Structure 1
Amino acid sequence: MKSSWKSLAWTGIYIILILSLLTNLSLITALLLIVPVIVLFNILDTKGFMIHVIPVWIVAFLIHPIYLLMALYFAVPAIFMGRCYKRRATALRTIVVGAATILVEMLLLLFIGTVLFQFDLSQYMQDIVNITMKPLQDMVASNGLSTDLLPSTEDMSLLVDMTIQRIPYALIVSSFLMAIISHVIVRPILSGMGYSVPKLIPAREWRFPRSLIWYYLIGVVIDMIAYNSDSGYLNMISANLVPILNVFFAIQAIGFFFYLAYIRKWHSIIPFLIAIPVLLFPPMAIIGILDIAFPLRQLMTKPKR
C-alpha cells in the first residue's frame, strides 16, 4: 500500500510537470521531466510503470501533441538511466549513459528536422541574431546615432558561423548537465525510499588520465592550422575540441581544490567557493592541466623536512 501511494504521488508530480509546460516556468520544469520517470521506473515493475505513465502521456497529448513529444523525449533517457540504477551501475556510468542518450536524441532531432522538414540551422541562427539586434537597431535609429556603433553585416555573419561551429560543444555540455542534474535530484530520492543507489566518488578523488594532455596538444595544433584555413571540418574541430577539454581540466582543478581542502582541513565551504571562479574564469583550468601533468597532489602531501 505504501509503495502504491508513492507511485501515485510521483504520477501526480509527473502530471503537474506536464501541465507546467503551459506556464512561464516551462524551460525549467521541462528539464525535471526526467526525474519522476526515473523514480517510477525504479519503484515499479515494467507493467506497473506503463500503467502509471501512459495516462500521463494521454493527458499530455490532450493538452497538445507537442507536449506528448516532449514527455516521450525526456522519458527515453530517464528509462536508460533507470535501468542503470536498477542494475546498480556506477554513478558515472549512469550519467554517461543518460548524457549519451540525450545527445543522440538531439542529433536525431536535428537530422530529422534538416532532412524531412528542410530546417536550415544557419538561417535559423541568422534569424535569432536579427531578432536580438532589432531592439538595438531601433534604439540607434530613434536617437539619431551613427550606425557605425552597430556590428556590420560581416561581423554578424561571423558571429552566426562561430555559433554554428560551437553547436557540438553546446550539445555535449548541455547533455551532461541534464544528466548530472537528474542524478543529483534522483539519487537522494531513491535512497530515501530505501533503494541502493551508487553515488559519485568524492570530488577530492576526481582524476582524469594524462592522455588528456596529448589530446589538448593535438587540439592546440589543430587550432593553429585551422586559424588561416578554409576547411570547415578543421574549423569545426578547432572550435569544439579544446573547449570540451577545458571543461575536463576545470573539473580536475575543482577536484584538486577539494583535495587540498581535505588534506589541509579547510572549512567545507571553501572548495565550493573556489569552484565558482574556476567555472566562471576559464584560464583557471590551467590548474587542472598542471594537476594532470605533474604530481601536484603528492607534493602537497610530501612531509616537510
Structure 2
Amino acid sequence: MNQTKKQVDGALFTGLFIIILLAGLFIPVITPIAIFVLPIPFVMYTARHSWKPALVMAVATIILSILLGTVLALPLAVPTIIGGIMIGEAIHKKITAYETLARGTFGYIVGMLLIFLFVQLVLQVNMVAEFQSLMDESLARSTSMMEQFGNQEQTDVVKETMEQVTEGLMNLLPFYFLFIAIIQALISQWLAYKLMNRIEKRQLRFPPFRSLRFPSSVLFIYLFVLLAAFMVADADSGTMSMAIQNLLVIAQLILTIQGFSFLFFFAHDKKMSKAFPIISIILVLLMPTFMFIIRFLGILDIGMNLRERMGKK
C-alpha cells in the first residue's frame, strides 16, 4: 500500500511539475511565478516519502522536461528540483525552519553550479565571458551617447566610474548567485509551508524574525575576512581578491540581518510598536549610509550577547 502511494504521488507531482515548467517556459509572464512555485511538488513529495524515491521522481521529471521542453528546460528545472528535494528532506526530518532554509539554499547553489558546468562544457558557452561582453557593450553605448551631449572631461570621469562599477559587478558574481539562491529558497519554502499547512493540516512556520541569532563564529570569520581584505587591498585583482570581496560582502550581509533581528527583538522586549523596526528597515534601504549602524548592532549582538544582558537587567 505504501509503495502504491509513493507511485501515485510521484505521478501526480511529476505531472504538476511538468505543467508548471511548460507554462513558465512558453508564457513569459508566468516565468517569475513559476521559478518560486516549481520546487513545491518536490518539497511536498520529499516531505512525505524522503529523498530516495524523490531521486527517482527527479530522473523521470528531467527526462520529461528535456523531451517536452528541450534542453532549454534544464536551467529552470534542475535548480528547483534539487532545492525542492533539500527543503522537503529537511521537513521530513523535522529540522528547524532556518536550517531548512540553509539546506534549500545549498540545493539551489548546487543546481545552479550544475547548470553552469553544463552550459560551459556541453553547450560550449562561457556565461561569464558573455556577461562581460554584454556589460562592455552597454558601457560602450552609454559612453557614445555621453560624448554626443557632454564635454570630453565629464565623459572621461563618468566612463571611469562606470568601468569601476562594471568591474565590481563582475567580481561579485558569486555573491549575486548566493543571494538569488537564498531568495529562491526562502520564497519557495514559505509557499510550501502555506500550502502544506492548508492541505495536510501541518503547523509549519518560520519562527519570529526577532529570534534569529547567528553563531559567534560569524563574527570571527568577518574579522578574519576584513583583515584579509586590507592585506590584499593594494594587490592586483585576481582569484584571491575576488574570493575575499565576496566573503566580505556575505559576512556583512549576515551581520546586517543580525542587526535587523536585534531591532525586532528590542521592539518586542520594550513592548514597542512593530512599526519601529519596519520603518528602520525602510530608512536603511532608502539611505544605505545607515547600514553601518545596523551592522554594528549585529556585531554587538553576537559579540556581547546584548539580548542576554537586556534580559538580566
Alpha-carbon RMSD: 3.6
Identity %: 22
Gap change, CA 1:294 and 1:100, over 3 Å in 2: same
User: How far apart are the structure 2 equivalents of 1:10 and 1:122?
Assistant: 33
2:161 is equivalent to residue 174 of structure 1: no
The change in CA–CA distance for 1:144 and 1:150 in structure 2 (over 3 A counts) is closer
Match of 1:253 in 2: 259
Cα drift, residue 134 of structure 1: 5.1
Residues in 2 aligned to 1:159 and 1:53: alpha-carbon distance in whole angstroms: 41
- The answer (yes or no) to whether the contact 1:10–1:39 under 8 Å persists in 2 is no
More moved, 251-260 vs 25-34: 25-34
Ranges of 4+ aligned residues in structure 1 off by more than 6 Å:
44-53
- Kept in 1: contact 2:209–2:261 (CA 8 A): yes
After TM superposition, give the deviation of residue 92 of structure 1 in Å: 2.2
**2:304 maps to which residue?**
294
Normalization by structure 1: what TM-score?
0.80
Q: Which residue of 1 aligns with 2:3?
A: none
Secondary structure of 2:72 counterpart:
helix
Change (3 A) 1:293 1:87: closer
**Alpha-carbon distance in 1 for matches of 2:15, 2:156:** 50
Q: Please, what TM-score do these two structures have when normalized by structure 2?
A: 0.78
Gaps of 5+ in 2: 1-7
Q: 1:173 to 1:251 in 2, by over 3 A?
A: same
Shift of 1:225: 0.9
- The equivalent residue for 1:217 is 223
Deviations 1:76-101 (A, max 9, x none): 22122212222222222221221111
C-alpha displacement at 1:9, in angstroms?
Answer: 9.3
Shift of the alpha carbon at 1:51?
Answer: 8.0
C-alpha displacement of 1:74: 1.5
Indicate whether 1:18 and 2:22 are aligned.
Answer: yes
Aligned mates of 1:139, 1:48 — CA distance in 2 = 53
1:18-42 CA distances to partner (integer Å, 9 max, x unpaired)? 3133233324432331123323444
**Contact 1:290 1:296 (8 Å CA) reproduced:** yes
Aligned partner of 1:185 in structure 2 is 191
Q: CA deviation at 1:12?
A: 4.8
Q: Residues of 1 paired with 2:240 and 2:222: CA distance?
A: 15
Instruction: Tell me, yes or no, if structure 1 residue 232 matches structure 2 residue 238.
Output: yes
Structure 1 residue 226: deviation in Å? 0.9
**1:55: Cα distance to partner?**
7.7
How many residue pairs get matched? 299
| SS of 2:28 mapped into structure 1 | coil
CA distance in 2, matches of 1:155, 1:252: 32
Residues 139 and 162, structure 2, Cα contact 8 Å, conserved in 1: no
| CA–CA distance in structure 2, aligned partners of residues 214 and 50 of structure 1 | 42
Contact 1:88–1:197 (8 Å) recurs in 2:
no
Aligned residue among 22, 27, 38 for 1:33: 38
59 and 231 in structure 1: CA distance in 2 versus 1, 3 angstrom threshold: closer
Could you tell me how far apart the structure 2 residues matched to 1:66 and 1:122 are? Answer: 18
Q: Distance in 2 between matches of 1:121 and 1:48?
A: 30
1:275 Cα deviation from its structure 2 partner: 3.1
Q: 1:234 and 1:51, CA in 2 relative to 1: closer, same or farther beyond 3 A? A: closer
Partner of residue 88 from structure 2, selected from 79, 82, 99: 82
- In structure 2, do the counterparts of structure 1 residues 37 and 211 end up closer, same or farther at CA, with 3 Å as the change threshold? closer
Unaligned runs of 5+ in 1: none
> Alpha-carbon deviation of 1:193?
2.0
Question: Quick one: distance in 1 between partners of 2:114 and 2:308?
Answer: 45
Task: Measure, in 2, the Cα distance between the counterparts of 1:197 and 1:291.
Answer: 30
Contact 2:20 2:38 in 1 (8 A): no
* Alpha-carbon offset, residue 146 of structure 1: 3.0
